[in-house]
Amino acid sequence: MGHLQVFIVSFLSISCVSIFMPNLVAAQLKTNFYAQTCPNVESIVRNVVNQKFKQTFVTIPAVLRLFFHDCFVEGCDASVIIASTSGNTAEKDHPDNLSLAGDGFDTVIKAKAAVDAIPSCKNKVSCADILALATRDVIQLSGGPGYAVELGRLDGLTSKSSNVGGNLPKPTFNLDQLNTMFASHGLNQADMIALSAAHTLGFSHCDQFSNRIFNFSPKNPVDPSVNKTYAAQLQQMCPKNVDPRIAINMDPITPRAFDNVYFQNLQKGMGLFTSDQVLFTDQRSKGTVDLWASNSKVFQTAFVNAMTKLGRVGVKTGKNGNIRIDCGAFN
């Protein structure tokens, strides 16, 4: 057999492994994973999330974004929580992650401390699983669906800023770019649209969408897909040369509720990012937006399904991970 044939055969076998891996991972993850070792883990985490939420609403979008940014780079392994050291610039210090709110990290670190304070649970529960549980809890706290979280992830052993670039969706993405990126994680178009609805919560900064309201194209300074009244409001809140730290709600109608108003906003031309509005302007995804805008229950079912699939991405098991003593540092 020639070198090329050997390469092709080995490449194909690697491809097959990666295609079938999500199912193997799903089999390893289970909802009652800590039933014997730390049976109260869910209530311990939920109590910490509740306390954080009482201190600041930002806890909700912060934890949700942290989970996405973690899973899309290196898989759901809490690598995004690792702090940089003199010898390593970690994921969290990549420019795409600098906008992650500290309250998300703080929630996971506090929940880990609360879990480890129970002698039988000490060093038994991964930071990756705590983040997955906290994410479900913040969705529920803001009026979203409750669901059973699959558990059994290990924490990752690497966290490099250099792995982040090109692995997170950009506000300027069109439908093909969104679908391609999500498909690389085993997520289909419906999953992508459902997960985009996380933008029903939280906020963004003016520089993430200023191109849509000031210099979209030579012919149209304002993106024609933006509702005119909404565009005028955005120009007022985000004038040129505004402080880049100014925060704008992603959902101008119900910014603190996890709901399907996100899709109703898209129908009115009130998606904040190009990557939001394109879900309605592109005929291939418009039907899903219309359905979920009118049917909250169907949307919530799709969202839970998509979150479960997201939670299986790149999960570490065996020698590929461990349980961190400190979520922010490798053992």
The verdict on whether residue 75 carries a ligand-binding annotation is yes
Q: What contacts 287, CB < 8 A, 6 or more positions away? A: none
The verdict on whether residue 223 carries a ligand-binding annotation is no
CA atoms within 13 A on the CB side of 211: 9
In whole angstroms, what is the distance from residue 243 CA to residue 46 CA? 36
The verdict on whether residue 326 carries a ligand-binding annotation is no
The verdict on whether residue 169 carries a ligand-binding annotation is yes
Which amino acid type is present at position 157? L
Residue 205 DSSP one-character state: E
Report H helices in 73-126.
102-116
CB 170 within 8 A of CB 286: no
Residue of 69, 94, 185, 205 with catalytic role: 69
The verdict on whether residue 290 carries a ligand-binding annotation is no
Q: Is the dihedral of CA 218, 222, 224, 228 positive or negative?
A: negative
The verdict on whether residue 95 carries a ligand-binding annotation is no
The verdict on whether residue 251 carries a ligand-binding annotation is yes
The verdict on whether residue 106 carries a ligand-binding annotation is no
The verdict on whether residue 161 carries a ligand-binding annotation is no
The verdict on whether residue 73 carries a ligand-binding annotation is yes
- Torsion region of 231: left, alpha or beta (phi above 0 gives left; psi -120 to 50 gives alpha): alpha
Long-range contacts of 297-301 (CB under 8 A, 24+ apart): 299/194, 299/197, 299/260, 299/263, 300/144, 300/145, 300/260, 301/145
The verdict on whether residue 301 carries a ligand-binding annotation is no
Q: Is 94 a catalytic residue?
A: no
Catalytic residues: 69
Q: Which residues are annotated as a binding site for heme b?
A: 199
Q: Point out the annotated binding site for Ca(2+).
A: 70, 73, 75, 77, 79, 91, 200, 251, 254, 259
Query: Which segments are annotated as binding site for substrate?
Result: 169
Q: Which residues are annotated as a binding site?
A: 70, 73, 75, 77, 79, 91, 169, 199-200, 251, 254, 259
